[in-house]
Structure 1
Amino acid sequence: MKAQPSAGRVLLCSTAKAGGVIQSATWNSATGEIGTLHESAKIVSPAFMAFDRTGGEDRVYVVSEANGSKAIVSAFAADPTTGALQLINTQSSGGDGPTHVATSPDGRMLALANYSGGSITTYRIDSRGALSTPVSHIQYMGHGPNPDRQESAHAHSARFTSDSRFLLVNNFGLDQILIYRVDPLTAVLTPHSTPVWAAKPGSGPRHIAFHPNGRWIYCLNELDSTVEILQWDSKAGTVTSAGRVSSLPKNFPPGKAFSGEIQVSPDGRNLYIGNRVASDTMAVFRIEKAGGGLTLIQLANNGGRNTRHFAIDPTGRWLILCEIASNTVVILERSASTGRLSEPVHTYPLESPMFVGFLPN
């Protein structure tokens, strides 16, 4: 990959044959090019990362999607100039198959979701960025109507609200978003007085994306490739549905495509969803100013196969896609005026790319 003048750095997780690695490269926001990849850390099965800079230093938290003693979360100090990662400490995830991790906006807490273990765990973060031993650990029981994918509870993501007062957990196996109150001093979770929002049975809520205004939440349902438009009441800590739309073409055969990731553009004008398997496309929505409704305006060519994850660069001009089935990283350009995506601009080889994220300058 050709090195370019840097306007930041990008980190990429790869579950390569050697077991797993985090790669770093320069990122050129003028041209949408990635520089030469350098190994930042070897780590078992890196699946998802979270970034924090509240203390003035860059920190990166990574979950290893493994089982038993190898199911861990690792804290790193990051050098934004070189992308080098220095291990701070590791902790047990508390369950098998951790697949998602998030830090609280105040930088004091971390939460992760154990997919195959069907549980979530929280931690305190100290001034050095080190993780405490597990604080709250919640195990889920039950199953959903899909016998192949919802045979048990599967926690797929855990996200803090912008005020760090609540944690929202997407339980893919139970078709629920669970709501917890969070003690910011201890990271202890308490079920909220309205603890559950129920998704459509068999839809499989995977990830959520917050709108910059803090009032709208978009819930990506993997199994039926839909997105639920939710209104968030930050005072009451409740969500209510305001509509539901598909990320696929009209009359697309059900049960053939499965959405993977969801992101809102930094300007709050567009929502993006990566479709997978039978539809290798990026769904582009216009977010309506009145009420946060969604209008599908494009199904863009993603340039690869099976978009496991993608990220929008800080300028809002580019999308970097991790195409896990084609072992490629693909760059698309985003129109500032319409939000529509270009044909693939750059394509780079990378074995089993799982996650991409940006370090600030």
Structure 2
Amino acid sequence: MNRKWTRLLTASLMTLTLDAQAATLLVGSYTDGDSQGIYRYDFDEHAGQIASQPRQVVKSISPSWLVLSADQRLLFAVNETPQGHVSSFSLSKNGEITLLNQVPSQGDEPTHASLSHDQRYLFVANYAVAPDPGGSLVVIPVARDGKLKPVVQQARHTPSKVNPERQAGAHVHSLVQSPDGRHLYACDLGADKVFIYRYDGASPEHPLSPAIPAAVSLPPGSGPRHLLFDAKGRHAYLTLEMSAEVVVFDVQDGAPVERQRLPLTDSKDVAAKAAGGLHLSADGRFLYVSNRGTANEIVVFAVGKDDGRLTLLQRRSVEGDHPREFALDPDGNYLLVANQKSNQIVVIRRDPSNGKLGDTVQKLSQQAPSDLKFL
């Protein structure tokens, strides 16, 4: 083989190696300041580095939560504003984002959304800061071309009013479907309950109906926020925002039964209690939970192989303020934190063998990041 062909082959192999090490990171943000909306970055999985400049910036008003379709050809974003909206985007093979359409969420400050397992409906949580009329969950059909249709169903809950400042109205914070697709779980911070709905995709006007039992009650003033199932759906994990706790449930026939509740901080200070997102490692052996407030930590737990119970392993500073969300990279070697109030994404090394978080690899300036999703 002559030198010319050797150089071409070497260059091709190097390109393939770089492509194999690169992942696409999508960042949702709040646009009250200088942020423009959705950012698309290259992420070097070998070095644990986010590219210094985004490949694409998509202008969108406060796309604070992002949802990918199962085939990763569609992207949905809630636009967290008064009189909220939800936006739909197409994703090309190289990750290029193009707006398809936008519809009203029929509520204020939508903070979370999820797709039904059959990809027919988008479930949207309208948090609604104002207590009247308060928060709600809505069901939005997704057309075959990826465009969103108007809301077909809406549900509201009765608030607990335990905390007169934060629970005077309902505040739906997240909507998560069970792994088998039969139930939808609505975490309502204002009601101190997780509401359970049966899902019927064949019912175009009312795909959701109350399950039996219709709800699970949490401690008064605890404020349920985000729920997460393990891969088999036998166990679920819930963050209680206001009490800064994580709850472990056993789940049978759609009904969660509490088995364990652990604090995220030893502090008695209310300001140190602001539980946020939670994610399992791909192998299901470790659970990561964010606690914001004055704590600003990621709390790491080992997960019991058979019973799903948690054992505290580590509390690790996020080296920033208000870790609203975070994500594990596709290889599980890094954990990326969206520090909303300090305007940075922090990349932390992770040991897949023991689950613990190590040194900080990178701090990337990013205005008001709120959600991170990998393609």
TM superposition score normalised by structure 2: 0.89
Corresponding position of 1:141: 158
Cα–Cα, structure 1 residues 133 and 47, in superposed 2: closer, same or farther, change >3 Å?
Answer: same
- Please report how far the alpha carbon of residue 215 of structure 1 lies from its aligned counterpart in structure 2 after TM superposition: 0.7
Give distance in 1, aligned partners of 2:226 and 2:70: 23
- Contact kept? 1:247, 1:296, Cα under 8 Å: no
Of 19, 33, 40 in structure 2, the residue corresponding to residue 24 of structure 1 is 40
Corresponding position of 2:259: 242
- Contact kept? 2:21, 2:46, Cα under 8 Å: no
> Mapping of 1:332-347 within 5 angstroms?
332-347=348-363
Q: Is 1:106 the equivalent of 2:118?
A: yes
Give distance in 1, aligned partners of 2:57 and 2:208: 33
DSSP 3-state at the match of 1:356:
strand
Corresponding position of 2:149: 132
Q: Is 1:329 the equivalent of 2:348?
A: no
Corresponding position of 2:29: 14
Q: Is 1:264 the equivalent of 2:280?
A: yes
Alignment deviations for residues 204-246 of structure 1 (CA, whole Å, 9 cap, x no partner)? 000011112211100000011101101111xx22110011001
Q: Is 1:289 the equivalent of 2:298?
A: no
Alignment deviations for residues 301-345 of structure 1 (CA, whole Å, 9 cap, x no partner)? 212111011111222221110001111100112111110001211
Counterpart residue type for residue 198 of structure 2: R
Give distance in 1, aligned partners of 2:318 and 2:159: 36
DSSP 3-state at the match of 2:327:
strand
Give distance in 2, aligned partners of 1:88 and 1:21: 16
Corresponding position of 2:332: 316
Alignment deviations for residues 31-61 of structure 1 (CA, whole Å, 9 cap, x no partner)? 111112133311111110111134xx51110
TM superposition score normalised by structure 1: 0.92
- Contact kept? 1:4, 1:27, Cα under 8 Å: no
More helix by share: 2
Corresponding position of 2:76: 61
- Contact kept? 1:225, 1:257, Cα under 8 Å: yes
Give distance in 2, aligned partners of 1:319 and 1:80: 25
Deviation beyond 4 Å, 4+ runs, structure 1: 3-6
> Mapping of 1:33-44 within 5 angstroms?
33-35=49-51, 36-44=53-61
Give distance in 2, aligned partners of 1:344 and 1:80: 31
Counterpart residue type for residue 115 of structure 1: Y
Q: Is 1:160 the equivalent of 2:177?
A: yes
- Contact kept? 1:6, 1:26, Cα under 8 Å: no
Corresponding position of 1:213: 232
Alignment deviations for residues 85-126 of structure 1 (CA, whole Å, 9 cap, x no partner)? 111221111100100011122222210100014100012222
- Contact kept? 1:301, 1:344, Cα under 8 Å: no
List gaps (5 residues or longer) in structure 2.
1-17, 129-133
DSSP 3-state at the match of 2:170:
coil
Give distance in 2, aligned partners of 1:192 and 1:315: 37
Of 91, 95, 108 in structure 2, the residue corresponding to residue 96 of structure 1 is 108
Of 80, 85, 89 in structure 2, the residue corresponding to residue 76 of structure 1 is 89
Counterpart residue type for residue 118 of structure 1: G
- Please report how far the alpha carbon of residue 22 of structure 1 lies from its aligned counterpart in structure 2 after TM superposition: 0.4
Give distance in 2, aligned partners of 1:20 and 1:136: 31
- Contact kept? 1:153, 1:174, Cα under 8 Å: yes
Counterpart residue type for residue 73 of structure 2: D
CA RMSD of aligned residues (A): 1.8
Give distance in 1, aligned partners of 2:321 and 2:159: 32
Larger Rg: 2
DSSP 3-state at the match of 1:8:
strand
Corresponding position of 1:228: 247
Of 213, 225, 249 in structure 2, the residue corresponding to residue 194 of structure 1 is 213
Number of paired residues?
Answer: 349
Cα–Cα, structure 1 residues 318 and 186, in superposed 2: closer, same or farther, change >3 Å?
Answer: farther
